[in-house]
Amino acid sequence: MRGKSISSERFSSILSPIREELRQVEARMGQALITDEEPLTAILRGLFISGGKRLRPALTILASKFRRSEASKVVALAAAVEMLHTATLVHDDMVDNSIMRRGNPTLNAAWDDGVVVLVGDYLFARSAALSAETENPRIISLFAKTLMLISSSELREALNIQKPNQKDYYWRISNKTASLFAAATEGGALLSEAVEEEVQALRSYGYDLGMAFQIMDDILDFTGDEEELGKPIGSDLRQGVITLPVLYFLEEDPDWGSVERILKGGEEREEHIHSLVTRVESSGAIRSSQAEAQGFTDKAKEALSVLPANEYRQVMLELADYLMVRRS
C-alpha cells in the first residue's frame, strides 16, 4: 500500500499544472453519465468512480496547451477519450472473463453478458457524442478509426490469429494501446492552433508513450505487486496472451513446452503459470523488455523538441519518466 500511495502522489504532483482542467473533465463525465434510468446511471457511475489514472485525458489537455484552444472543447474531448477507453475495458473484461480490474470487481462479475455488452455500447455512443462536440471532422474520424484499430486487434487475439513473435506483439500493442494515446494527443493538438508539424510531434509523443506504457504494463504483470496492481500477477498468461517478457525469455531459453502447457490448460495450470512467472522474472527478459520501453520513452521525449519549451512540455517530459518507474 505504501508503494501505491507514494506512486500516485508523485503522479498527481506531476499533473498539478492541469489539476483544474482534470477536475472539469471529471465534472463533464459525471454530467454525461446521467441517464433517465437510475440503475443504468448507477452502473455507469460505479465504473468511473472505481478510477484509473485519467492518463489519457491528461494527455489531451497537455497537448492542447501549446497554442490557443477552446477550453470547453478540450474538456469534452478529454472526457470522450476516457470514456472510449472505459468502453473498450468493459468489453475486454467480458471477452476475457476477467473478474477484477483496478482492485475492484469488473462489471461482468456482477451482471450478465448482455448487460455488460450494452453498457459498453452505451459508453461508445456517449463517447462519440462527446467527440462530436468538438465539431471537428478530422478529430471525429480519428476517433472512429482508433476504435477500429482497437477492436480489430482484440479480434485478432480472440480469433487466435496472432503469432507469438515480437512483430505480432508490437502490432498488437500499437493498435490496442498506442493508437488511443496517439489519438488523445493528436486530438488535443488539433483543438489548438498548433501547426501540422506540432500536431505530428504531439501525435508521435502520444504514440511512443503508449508503446512504452504497454510494455511496462506487461512487465508489471510479472514483477508487480498484486495489491498495488489490483489484479493477480500472471493475468496475461492466464488469458493465453504472450507478451514481450515471455518472448525475450524464450529467446534465452527456448522452452516452448512450458508455455504450451499453460495455453492448453489442464489440471496443474496454476502451478505452471506460477513457475513460468518466476522463471521470466528472474531472467534477463525483464531487463531486455525495460530497455525496449526506455527506447520508446526516449523517442517520445525527443518528439517534443519542436515544441515551445513551456511548463506543459516539462510536465510531458516528467510524465514520460514517471511512467517508466511506476508500480501500478
CA–CA dist 189, 211 (Å, integer): 19
What is the C-alpha to C-alpha distance for residues 304 and 202, in angstroms, rounded to an integer?
A: 7
Sign of CA dihedral 114, 120, 124, 130: positive
**Contact between 148 and its own copies (CB under 8 A)?**
yes
* Binding-site member from 140, 212, 273, 277 for its own copies (CB under 8 A): 140
Name the phi and psi angles at 192, rounded to 5.
-100, 180
What are the cell numbers at 307? 515544441
Is there binding between residue 143 and its own copies (CB under 8 A)? yes
| 70 near its own copies, judged by CB under 8 A | no
Query: Closest by alpha carbon to 80, among 12, 126, 121, 20?
Result: 126
Q: Does residue 248 bind its own copies (CB under 8 A)?
A: no
Stretch of residues binding its own copies (CB under 8 A), selected from 123-131, 181-189, 256-264, 297-305: 123-131
Taking CB under 8 A as the rule, does residue 147 contact its own copies? Answer: yes
Stretch touching its own copies by CB under 8 A, among 110-118, 180-188, 270-278, 298-306: 110-118
**For 77, left (φ over 0), alpha (ψ -120 to 50), or beta?**
alpha
DSSP tag of 305: G
Binding mask of the shown chain, residues 161 to 180, with x at each position contacting its own copies by CB under 8 A: x-------------------
Alpha helices in 50-112 (DSSP H): 55-63, 71-95, 107-110
Stretch 283-322 residues interacting with its own copies (CB under 8 A)? none
Euclidean distance between CA atoms 54 and 28, whole angstroms: 13
Does 115 sit near its own copies (CB under 8 A)?
Answer: yes
- Nearer to its own copies by C-beta: 132 or 317? 132
Asked if 325 is part of the footprint of its own copies (rule: CB under 8 A), the reply reads no
Of the pair 2, 112, the CB lying nearest its own copies is at 112
39 binds its own copies (CB under 8 A): yes
Rounded least distance, CB 88 to its own copies, Å = 8
- Cα(62)–Cα(96) distance, integer angstroms: 33
Residue 110 found at the interface with its own copies (CB under 8 A): no
Compute the C-alpha angle 326/84/95, nearest 5°: 85
Number of residues that bind its own copies (CB under 8 A): 47
- We find the least distance from the C-beta atom of residue 172 to its own copies, in angstroms, to be 12
**By CB under 8 A, which span of 142-150, 259-267, 300-308, 310-318 interacts with its own copies?**
142-150
Listed ranges 4-12, 48-56, 91-99, 205-213: which one lies at the site for its own copies (CB under 8 A): 91-99
Closest distance to its own copies from the beta carbon of 174 (Å): 13
Residue with cell 490496442: 176
- What angle in degrees, to the nearest 10, is found between the helix axes of 137-158 and 71-95? 10
Dist CA 15 CA 78 (whole Å): 15
Which are the contacts of 21, defined by CB distance < 8 A and separation ≥ 6? 61, 71, 74, 75, 78
H or E segment at 105? strand 104-105
| Piece in contact with its own copies (CB under 8 A), picked from 108-116, 191-199, 207-215, 271-279 | 108-116
Q: Which residues bind its own copies (CB under 8 A)?
A: 35-37, 39-40, 88, 91, 94-96, 112-115, 117-122, 124-126, 128-129, 131-133, 135-137, 140-141, 143-145, 147-148, 150-152, 154-156, 158-159, 161
